[in-house]
Amino acid sequence: MEEPDIIGLEIDILLETLKRRYSYDFSSYARASLDRRIRHFAEKNGYSRISEIIPQLIWDPSLLKKVVYGISVPVTEFFRNPRVFKIIREKVFPVLETYPHIKIWNAGCATGQEVYSMAIMLKEEGLYDKTQIYATDFNDEALEIAREGIYSIESVRNQIKNYQQAGGKETLSDYYLARYNRIIFDNELKKNIVFANHNLISDSPFGEMHLILCRNVLIYFNQDLQCNVLDLFMRSLIHGGFLCLGSHESIRFSAVERFLSPIEKQSKVFKKVARIARERSETDVDE
């Protein structure tokens, strides 16, 4: 008789516990990646079996944050993939500049490095004062780190080159105070940022956005959930607004593809356009 997949069963019960006890639904996440993160969380935190987490999680709500933080993916860095930031600076910002007020949504912001990178660019291009940035994640522990804006000094030093390649106009250290191997971002850089808990799976759209960034989040979702989230973004964007995804993420399988025109295919930056306008543009290219 074939041995049952005991670890798979443990993971199923853990995910069901998260859903029924706390309404955290991971069922639409890419399963292989989720399994790896759960195994890593159990090993890192001294559990000999995944099932040992379950009774403690049921009776001790304080463990929830630790589990969610451990099995979600709050990984980011300053000016990650600087080419993307340079494209936004050179091709998106000149369009946003024409609006009297700008709204940007950084969905799945994790611990906030990308949010502050965007704020720095807006500051350098003279757009920050008329911009409202909404930085959201479903992970409260990651959000708290982002809200505080305190990071290790090494995490910034390692990204100075990225800042320069993204078209940085000043010195990165102009934007933070360094002390005791830690840095904290200037309050002037935080004043137009709203950090909020938002679950892409279950919560409503953020309306009238001019730019949405959601990089390296969709890769952890299955295809159906990716389509749902892309539809959420389309309902959140104004006509002519911009969507920026991660380098390994795609819109090709989604119904929203016909409404998004790439302004830079390699960097996955798209503009929301009318379907007929996109069809005419593609016809012109074909001819």
Average pLDDT over residues 172-191: 91
Q: How many residues does the structure list for the chain? A: 287
Same domain, 200 and 141: yes
Q: Give 112-140 pLDDT, tens digit per residue.
A: 999 999 999 999 999 999 999 999 998 88
Say yes or no: 47 and 130 in one domain: no
Distance between CA 40 and CA 227 in Å, rounded?
A: 28
Could you tell me if residue 174 is inside a domain? Answer: yes
Question: Do 65 and 88 belong together in one domain?
Answer: no
pLDDT on residue 123: 97
28 with 222: CB under 8 angstroms? yes
In a domain, 124, yes or no: yes
Asked if the structure places residue 225 within a domain, the reply is yes
pLDDT in tens, 213-265: 999 888 888 888 889 999 999 999 999 999 999 888 888 888 898 999 999 77
User: Range of 128's domain?
Assistant: 82-280
**pLDDT higher than threshold 60 for residue 42:** yes
Asked if 151 and 10 sit in the same domain, the reply is: no
Query: What's residue 151's pLDDT?
Result: 93
Let me know if residue 285 belongs to a domain: no
Same domain, 182 and 219: yes
Residue 212 within any structural domain of the chain: yes
Same domain, 121 and 219: yes
Please report whether residue 1 resides in a domain. no
Q: What is the pTM of this model?
A: 0.82
In a domain, 77, yes or no: no
User: What is the count of structural domains for the chain?
Assistant: 2
- Has residue 166 been placed in a domain? yes
User: What's the longest Cα–Cα distance across the chain?
Assistant: 69
State the CATH number of the domain containing residue 133: 3.40.50.150
Residue 211 contacts residue 231 (beta carbons within 8 Å): no
Under the banding of pLDDT at 50, 70 and 90, the label for residue 6 is confident
Domain limit, last residue, from 15, 48, 71? 71
Same domain, 225 and 89: yes
Name the percent of the chain lying above pLDDT 90.
Answer: 52
Please tell me the predicted confidence (pLDDT) of residue 7.
87
Please state, in angstroms and as integers, the Cα–Cα distance from residue 49 to each residue in 2, 20, 56, 65, 89, following that order: 21, 21, 13, 20, 48
109 and 216 belong to one structural domain: yes
Same domain, 148 and 180: yes
Average pLDDT over residues 37-55: 91
Residue where one domain finishes, among candidates 46, 71, 96? 71
Amino acid at 50: I
Strands 102-107, 131-137: parallel, antiparallel or unpaired by DSSP?
parallel
Q: So what's the pLDDT on residue 213?
A: 96
Q: How far apart are CA 115 and CA 146, in angstroms?
A: 8
Of the candidates 20, 47, 71, which is a domain's last residue? Answer: 71
Q: Are residues 129 and 93 in the same domain?
A: yes
> Is the same domain home to 175 and 46?
no
Each residue's pLDDT tens digit, 58-107: 998 888 888 887 887 666 889 989 999 999 999 999 999 999 999 999 99
Q: Are residues 65 and 86 in the same domain?
A: no
Dist. CA 220–CA 203, nearest whole Å: 18
In tens, the pLDDT along 255-282 reads 898 999 999 777 899 999 976 445 544 4
